[in-house]
Amino acid sequence: MSTKHLSADVDYYAILGVTYNSTLKEIQRAYRQKALSVHPDKNPSPDAAVLFHALFQAYDVLSDPQAKLAYDELLKARLAKKKKNEAMDSKRRAMKDDLEDRENTAKKQKMDEKEAEANLQTELERLRADGARRRMEKEEELRKQMMTEEPSLVVEEPVTLTKSGELDCTLKIKWKRKKHNLEAAELEAIFSTFGAVDSVAVSAKKQGSALIVFEAVVSAHAALTSKGTNPLLDPFDSIDWAGGSEPAIVKKMNATVVAASVRSDYVAGDTVPVTKMKASTAAVTPLSLFAAASSGVSAFGAVPSFVPPSFGSAPATVDDYETITLMKMRRAERERLERDIREKETAETVPQDEKVYRQIVARLVDFNQHTV
C-alpha cells in the first residue's frame, strides 16, 4: 500500500478495535468481525458504506507490515508533537500566570502607596484644622485673661496673639524599614527624650516614615536640631518639619536676635539699654518693668496707656518670648556640649578622654530630657 495516503489524524487501531502490539491474526479476526456488522448488505444504516470503507482502509494499512511501520512512525511523530505543544502551553500558562501575579502585585502596591499618601494628607489636614482651632481657643483665653487681670489697661489696637499649633509641633521622620523595623511605641520612647510626645502616626509605606506630634514646639525644635549629634537619632535618614517649613515662631527666633535678647534681660530683672532698641521703633516698657517704674526707677520716663511692644517682626505674646528663650538656651547649651565633644575627639590620646566623652554625651541626653 502507498504511504502517501496515510494520515495520523485517523486512528486505525481504534477503528479495528486492536492495540499497537496486536498480531496480524488478531488484526484479521477483528476485521472480519467488524466487517460483518458494518457491511452495507447487512447494515441498513446510511453510514454503513462509509464505515465499511474506513474499516477496510484500516485493515489495509495495519495488515501490511511496511504500511503499518510507516503509520506507526507517523503516529509517534504526531504524539511527540502533541506532547511538545502541551509542554509549551504549560510554560505559556505559567508565564502568563506569573505575569498576571506581578501585575496584580504592582497594582496593589501602587494602590497601597496612594492610600497611605491619602491617609498622610488627611492626617496633615486634621493636624492643621486642630491646630487652628486650638490656636483660636488659646487666643480667646489669653485675651480674656489679660482683660481680667489688667482691667485698667487700654488697648488702642487689637493685638494678634500667636500660639504654636499642633502642626508646628509635628516632625516628619524617615528611615529604612529594612534596617530598622521601628514601631510607634519605639519611636515615642526615642523622641520622648526631647520632650513630651502627644501622638505618633506611622505610615504604611515600605519606606519607613512617621509623624511625631510633640506637646511643645520647643521639644520638636530640640529633636530636629539634635540630628547628627544625638546617637539616638542615628537610625533616621531625615527629620523635617511636617508643614514643609519652619514654624513662624522658629523663624522669629532666628530673625529677631534683638527681641530675644531684650526678653532675656526682662527675665533677669534688668532694664533694657536704649542702645539695644531700634531707632525706628517707639520706646516702651513691657509689663515686667511696671514695678520698677512705680518705685521711682524709670528707663524711658512716664508710661502712658499700655501699648504692646514693637520690635519689628518680634513675637507678640509672652508665651512666644518664653518659647524662643527656651529654644535659644537649649541651642546655646547644645553648642557648648558639641564644642566639648569636638575638643575631646581631637585629643584622642589619653584613655581618660573616652570617659569624659561618654559623660558629655550622657549630659546631652539628660539635658534634652529635663529642660522642657
pLDDT of residue 302: 40
- pLDDT at site 327: 75
pLDDT at 32 over 70: yes
Instruction: Copy the grid coordinates of residue 317.
Output: 505674646
Q: Which of 358, 370, 351, 330 is nearest to 231 (CA)?
A: 358
Q: Which of 226, 249, 272 is the last residue before a domain boundary?
A: 249
Q: Write down which residue in 188, 215, 249 finishes a domain.
A: 249
Residue 13 lies in a domain: no
DSSP 8-state code for residue 270:
P
Region 63-67 average pLDDT: 87
More confident residue, 265 or 194: 194
Q: Are residue 226 and residue 286 in the same domain, yes or no?
A: no
Q: Which residue has the higher pLDDT, 207 or 84?
A: 84
pLDDT at position 103: 92
Q: Looking at residues 356-366, what average pLDDT do you find?
A: 67
What pLDDT shows up at residue 136?
A: 86
Residue 87 domain-assigned? no
Q: What confidence tens digit (pLDDT) does each residue in 117-145 have?
A: 899 889 888 888 888 888 888 888 888 88
SS3 42: coil
Tell me what the mean pLDDT of segment 325-329 comes to. Answer: 74
Are 157 and 198 contained in the same domain?
A: yes
In the three-class reduction of DSSP (H, G, I as helix; E, B as strand; rest coil), residue 350 is classed as coil
Q: Residue 12 and residue 52: Cα distance in Å, rounded?
A: 13
Domain of 363, in residue numbers: 251-370
pLDDT band at residue 355, thresholds of 50, 70 and 90? low
Residue 173, pLDDT score = 93
Residues 359 and 338 placed together within one structural domain of the fold = yes
What was the pLDDT predicted at 153? 42
Residue 110 included in any domain: no
Comparing 14 with 347, the larger pLDDT belongs to 14
State the pLDDT confidence band at 295, using cuts at 50, 70 and 90: very low
How many independent structural domains does the chain possess? Answer: 2
List C-alpha distances in Å: 231 to 56, 235, 315, 347. Answer: 94, 8, 33, 21
Between 249-253, 277-281, 367-371, the lowest mean confidence (pLDDT) is in 277-281
**Residue 264 and residue 232 share a domain:** no
Instruction: Quote the pLDDT of residue 238.
Output: 92
Domain end, chosen from 232, 249, 266, is at 249
Per-residue pLDDT, 347: 66
Sheet of strand 236-241: strand arrangement: 197-202, 208-214, 170-175, 236-241
Pairing, β 170-175 against β 208-214: antiparallel
Residue 307 or 133, more confident = 133
**What is the mean pLDDT of the segment spanning 140-160?**
60
Mean pLDDT value across the chain: 74
pTM of the entire predicted model: 0.35
CB 140 within 8 Å of CB 299: no
Confidence of residue 256 (pLDDT cuts 50, 70, 90): low
Across 205-209, average pLDDT: 81
Judge if 309 and 288 occupy the same domain. yes
Q: Based on the domain organization, do 191 and 225 belong to the same domain? A: yes
Q: How many CB atoms lie within 10 A of CB 229?
A: 14
pLDDT of residue 368: 61
For the domain that residue 214 is a member of, what is the CATH number?
Answer: 3.30.70.330
Task: Establish if 85 belongs to a structural domain.
Answer: no
Q: What is the mean pLDDT of residues 357-362?
A: 67
Structural domain contains residue 122: no
Residue 256 lies in a domain: yes
